[in-house]
Amino acid sequence: MKGLRVIILNFFLLTIPMSLAWAAAEKAEALEKKVSLANLTGINYFFAKLYNENMWVYAIVVTVLMGAVGMLIALVTDVFLKMIGMEVSKIEHHE
């Protein structure tokens, strides 16, 4: 009896996130939009065009780019701080 109660409770708890995600996903589908390319040049044009053509590719590019910029900044600040003689190995920063 206790085992059955555990199985039912587990099943119930498992269905909560799935049902929430599914229910919400249905309603969020009609939110796609296109941005205007008029008067855009350079990097703005590149991102806007990517955004209009394929949102998945845009998302991948954005994620990879943020990671790459993060790594580049970490590298540059490390080099800079070592140049001015600061200890950088004890940094505490979470979140």
Residues that bind other proteins (CB under 8 A): 6, 9-10, 13, 17, 20-21, 24-25, 27-28, 30-33, 35-36, 40, 43-45, 47-48, 51, 55-56, 58-60, 62-63, 65-67, 69-71, 73-75, 77-78, 81, 86, 88-95
CB nearer other proteins, residue 1 or residue 94: 94
Contact 52, 37 (CB under 8 A): yes
* Smallest gap from residue 83 Cβ to other proteins (A): 13
75 contacts: CB under 8 Å, gap ≥ 6:
none
Helix then strand then coil, in percent of the chain rounded to 5, is 75, 0, 25
